[in-house]
Amino acid sequence: MKIIKYITNKIRNKPKTDLKILKTIYNIYFNEYELKGYKNYMPIDINFVAKKLNINADLLFGQLYYHLDYKYRYKSENNSDVHLFANTIGKEKHCINFPYMTSIISILKNENKTIKISSMFISLCSFIVSIMK
């Protein structure tokens, strides 16, 4: 029984990729984003998303707030900060910049595709060299 609990804990607390987190948020909230007519930022339920990802809610918050927002934050033309994730926007808590997030998902998917193609090419070259020997 202890072994099963240990393995389950290891799987549960395995860090999720940026792409996995953002795609999960997108899949959960896309319909709500369209139905409620949010402009940019919309609130998300960190605990619910964490359960869907099978990770700790505090770790998810940390990854969104300290890592992803820092990584993708930029200055707009009027010199104000544009955030991917904000702890509070007005009265709303834990808000994601939904349109910006969809752009980041596209970029990350494209990067993953490029890496996979490069890896396959290198593997193919290695295979050909090994056959030629």
pLDDT tens digits, 51-102? 999 999 999 999 999 999 999 999 999 999 999 999 999 999 999 999 999 9
Q: What total of structural domains would you count in the chain? A: 1
pLDDT at 36: 86
pLDDT at 57: 95
Q: Supply the range of the domain harboring residue 125.
A: 2-132
pLDDT at 130: 74
Whole-model pTM?
A: 0.76
- Please give the average per-residue pLDDT across 38-62, as a whole number: 94
pLDDT at 39: 84
Pair of tokens at residue 15: 């860090």
Question: What does residue 37 show for φ and ψ, rounded to 5 degrees?
Answer: 65, 35
- Please give the average per-residue pLDDT across 17-24, as a whole number: 96
Q: Give the Cα separation of 19 and 53 in Å (integer).
A: 12
Q: Give the Cα separation of 4 and 71 in Å (integer).
A: 36
- Asked whether 98 and 33 are in contact (CB, 8 A), the reply is yes
Q: Give the Cα separation of 87 and 102 in Å (integer).
A: 19
